[in-house]
Amino acid sequence: MDITLLLGAFLAGIITVFAPCIFALLPVIVGGSMTGDVHDKRRPFLIAGSLAISLIVFTLLLKATTLFIDISPAAITYVSGGIIVGLGIVTLFPQIYEKFILLFNLQARSQRLLGKSTGRGPVIGAIITGAALGPVFSSCSPVYAYILATVLPVNFNVAIVYVIMYVIGLSIMMLLLGFLGQKLVRRIRFAVNPKGWFQRVIAILFILVGLSIITGYDKQFQTFISEKTPFDFDALSSKLIPDSGRESAEGVLNVKLYKAPELAGIKDWINSDPQTIEGLKGKVVLIDFWTYSCINCIRTQPYLKSWYETYKDSGLEIIGMHAPEFSFEKNKVNVEDAAKKAGLTYPIALDNDFTTWNAYKNQYWPASYLIDKDGNVRRVHAGEGSYKETEQAIRQLLAEKGGNVPNEMAAVNDGATSSDKETPETYLGTRRANNYTGPTRLIQGERTYTAGSLAQVNNWTLGGTWNVSGEGIMAVSNSTLKFRVAAKDVYMVTGSNANAAIGVTLNGVPISQTKFAGSDIKDSKLDVSMAQLYRIADFGSFNDDQIIELTVPAGVQLNTFTFGS
């Protein structure tokens, strides 16, 4: 368990109250503690506690399982907003609440659970208030998003510990706000009257906040706050996300050497008997983290095969560390079939429990760790690309060990091509976004974007209304994405299962009117019926400057662009 991330999660929970997406909810957070009996010190505890439980349950049900995968995020928003509106109505018209309580005998039940109330103020309203806020709070912290996206798929138990630490930090601040609100009200006589005008104003604020959540106007308020204040909450929160902990170095050997962790927790081996880092000392070892359904991993395989063939006799060993993204990838037979189909003959280890993945503090598929003859890591690379630099590093380490290094660099003979000018893999979510340009800053939440100029190749920009998360972007209305690319082929990963069609143009012309439409394009449209990788452009050979524009209907989520062959 990473102590740095544990502390970071706790601190992230504390500073979440300063997030722009929370500002619109402050009347509910503070007002929930100020309504009813202001002498009832349980109300802040009830709101904070029910918010904490709601957030954890929401994480478990909607983030950590597939039980509710078909539920629209909008439906959850409507429920949360509707509950808050309902609480405002019963606070504004307490006779409605009293009839409801008498009808279902809820007050007696709550008293049996929580003890007799110190006054007239009901406890159920406080519990419901906190519970309704859980789903809203779950999208307000980059650290929380990092835990869900990076830690949860690898180690469920550890991820839940991090989430709990985040919730503890958040709950402390909720308690502080609640008690401050109560203290303020107790000092103001006219505010103490549960049927007075002050309590009714708070009730109206509840209704307005609930309606803003339902209609999406809370996101516009969030955008206004983030643009008008110099405080960059996302930037501050991101600093709480731990880096790899590795020191950088110059050149192709890009990390300060450190002892390579031993291979651990391996369930089985393919193409080899069990291997160890200790047993491989004297060789140069390339550990390649991959999973067989990952298109990015597949596209690195021609280079891995070529390096293995060229440098194996000079002392290079490659170990394919297979860390499954999906449960079906844990099956040895499936991995064997995929390896055979790809022509992989080097040793492959099944790291089904991510034990070695965690030992190397890895976060990505694919990722490579190059180890010298003494068992020290000398180069680390995440993602595709930099093949020339990786091969140069292999050759340099082979020369260090005194191996007979071939004069010529390895050739890739199966049609794969690359270029130093090729557009790199591009992530669209804030957690790993790169090369975005535009007058409107890319931050989490819903906002309207104005397209910027694409001054350079690899730049991309947005137009229209998008809901941005750490992992991707979702169109809220008919919106556009424009990308200036250099590649042979253009692929896009979408996280949508909805039946929808994305319009595609190339340099302002419907792409099917050109000869460069990808295999998944029909009549200049891309049908996105499944969450998967789509091929949207095929230029036949490397092309150094093309502009692709997508017209994306509401509800479609885009995650990543990848390029190559």
| pLDDT confidence bin for 343, thresholds 50/70/90 | very high
Separation CA 318–CA 339 (nearest Å): 14
Range name among 22-36, 176-190, 199-213, 534-548 with the lowest pLDDT average: 22-36
Domains 258-400 and 426-564 share a fold: no
| pLDDT confidence bin for 230, thresholds 50/70/90 | low
Residue 260 has pLDDT above 90, yes or no: yes
CA nearest 171: which of 48, 301, 327?
Answer: 48
CA nearest 302: which of 219, 393, 411, 142?
Answer: 411
C-alpha dist (Å) from residue 283 to 64, 280, 373: 41, 6, 5
Residue 504 has pLDDT above 90, yes or no: yes
CA nearest 373: which of 347, 396, 405?
Answer: 396
Name 525's Cβ contacts closer than 8 Å, sequence gap at least 6.
501, 502, 503, 504
- Mean local confidence (pLDDT), 321-331: 81
Name 430's Cβ contacts closer than 8 Å, sequence gap at least 6.
142, 234, 442, 443, 444, 468, 469, 470
pLDDT, tens digit (0-9, with 9 covering 90-100), for 41-93: 777 787 778 878 877 777 676 555 544 444 545 566 677 778 778 777 876 77
Q: What is the DSSP letter of 425?
A: P
Query: 517 vs 209, which has greater pLDDT?
Result: 517
**pLDDT for the residue 413:** 43
Tokens of 443: 């931050």
Separation CA 151–CA 138 (nearest Å): 16
Helix (H) or strand (E) holding 548: strand 533-552
Separation CA 464–CA 481 (nearest Å): 9
Cα torsion 333, 338, 339, 340: sign: positive
CATH of 258-400, one of 3.40.225.10, 3.40.30.10, 3.30.870.10, 3.40.630.10: 3.40.30.10
Tokens of 422: 């090729």
Residue 550 has pLDDT above 80, yes or no: yes
Question: What residue segments make up the domains of the chain, in order of their start?
Answer: 3-238, 258-400, 426-564
Residue 33 has pLDDT above 60, yes or no: no
- Are 502 and 483 within 8 A, CB to CB? no
Range name among 150-159, 162-171, 325-334, 381-390 with the lowest pLDDT average: 150-159
Tokens of 514: 């050109």
- Grouping H, G, I as helix, E, B as strand and the rest as coil, residue 177 is helix
CA nearest 544: which of 484, 503, 497?
Answer: 484
In three-state form (DSSP H/G/I as H, E/B as E, the rest C), the secondary structure along 297-321 is HHHHHHHHHHHHHHHHHHCEEEEEE
CA nearest 125: which of 161, 163, 86?
Answer: 86
pLDDT, tens digit (0-9, with 9 covering 90-100), for 405-433: 888 787 554 344 445 688 888 889 887 78
**pLDDT for the residue 559:** 83
Q: Does domain 426-564 have CATH number 3.30.300.20?
A: no
| Look-up of token digits 């008690």 | 179
Separation CA 14–CA 9 (nearest Å): 9
**pLDDT for the residue 190:** 56
Separation CA 79–CA 71 (nearest Å): 12
Helix (H) or strand (E) holding 284: strand 284-290
On the CB side of 233, CA atoms within 13 Å amount to: 27
Tokens of 182: 């109560």
| pLDDT confidence bin for 118, thresholds 50/70/90 | very low
Quickly list DSSP for 317-383.
Answer: EEEEEE--SSGGGG-HHHHHHHHHHHT--S-EEE-TT-HHHHHTT---SSEEEEE-TTSEEEEEEES
Tokens of 365: 């598929």
- Grouping H, G, I as helix, E, B as strand and the rest as coil, residue 440 is coil
On the CB side of 272, CA atoms within 13 Å amount to: 18
